[in-house]
Structure 1
Amino acid sequence: MSIQLLFWVLVGLFILFSVSVAFVEKQHIRDLVPLTPDRSIQWSPYFKAMNEAAERLGFVHAGIFVQDRKSRMYQAHMAIWISPEGHSLLRISGGTTAGIEIKRTWLTSFVEPNRIIETTDESGMADLSGYTDRKWLLNAGLDEMVACHIDRLAKYPEAKRHFPVNQALAACEAMRAMTVAQMQKLGLASFINAERTIWKHTLKGAWLNYAKGFRGQLKEGKAQMKRMDLKRPGAK
């Protein structure tokens, strides 16, 4: 077998693997519950630094939440904050999934009637609904993320939704449910339980998750190569 043929075989196997994983993997809309006093979490340097930055910037704390899964493979936790003016949700994720440390932060705003504006410091699964305008700032600190998000949000003249502190988690879940429902209409996803809280990609959705999502991340990653040397918050 020639080297060129071997290369394309490996590429094909990788694509097949990526599409297969997206097709079979179950996604949960509601798998977070409030952290209770009898349960503790490990605060990584990243998680600590981002939460301290949120407090310094005047965000209002809405709670810490942990994954409620039977499998010990899922050990993620999330701190949720509300921006001072109430128009943005800040989610800071930590913990582990399958032993891999999670370090990811999102700033999310909802522009009426159905536009989600999101700024994040780490790549993630593509939203195939068409509702989300996402900007990825590799290795960004919270100050940079907030400045970028405010600038992006100012370009939308429509009304911005206000998020009550006591409904922060519910708001996150509602936006996720809205995007999945739209993906279902497009034939890209299907709910697999009566409560419509667990879903997975259809074969078409799994393919587009690779074609638009993964390949889009590679393209964006190349554009942000200069940011690779930036230290992440909390890093020494």
Structure 2
Amino acid sequence: MKGVLILSFKEIEELSLNHWQPLSTVLYDGWVLRFADGYTKRANSIQPLYDSSLPIATKLDACEDMYRSQGLATVFKLSPYTKPMPLDDELSQRGYRFAEETSVQMLELDALPSPDPAVRAKIEPLSSAWIAHFCRLSHVDPRHHPTLSQMLQRIVAQSGYVSIIAGGQVAGCGLGVVDGAYVGLYNVVIDQALRGRGLGEQMLLQLLHWGRSPGASRSCLAVVLSNAPAMRLYAKLGYSEVYRYWYRINDSTARASH
């Protein structure tokens, strides 16, 4: 069972890398360094997925120099499967703070309920209108709007952008990316004033049925543990936890503007 879990971890982490594209990537001795002008930790972090051979201290110095040159905090995305295993302790001793423990969850799509036909939703290719609605609902800093647009345009796998309509306006957005047997869900947001009405559930059901059509048989997503409403929603849909990840952050390499 342990081997199966590790395989699933690598599959899901590689899907996440492919589905949430940074502006640039550096591969460094088994570590994946991602840069996207500071927009989201996932796209501006170091992911130590593979075996490495250089001393950890040497690598940390080099990584901090690279992120400092970009004016960004040095951020590591870690999990129980991080290589090398002592890295979390090393980062803690070096002063990196712990942040955003996150649950990675999966759902088999063989018994999906049908979405409510009375709820209006549409799934379309990427558009400037969808980006504008997502930025409005998620309160994305205007300086990051062009970065987000570039990141979404870099997704190679089949992607669908869902919008749910309530009161004649877009009340929620989400992104689905189909990659082989998986549909990954990202950027799920509902208008804060309209939460608690079942719109999120209906929007996700629309997206999951869309993902199943080209052959996806399971879904994966990541949710911050402190986001209790989202945790409840995903549990209601039947998602279950596979593993967790968290971040270690060194803010000293960031410029004040980031």
Q: TM-score, normalised by structure 2?
A: 0.27
Q: Which has the higher strand share?
A: 2
* Higher RCO structure, 1 or 2 (CA under 8 Å, sep 6+): 2
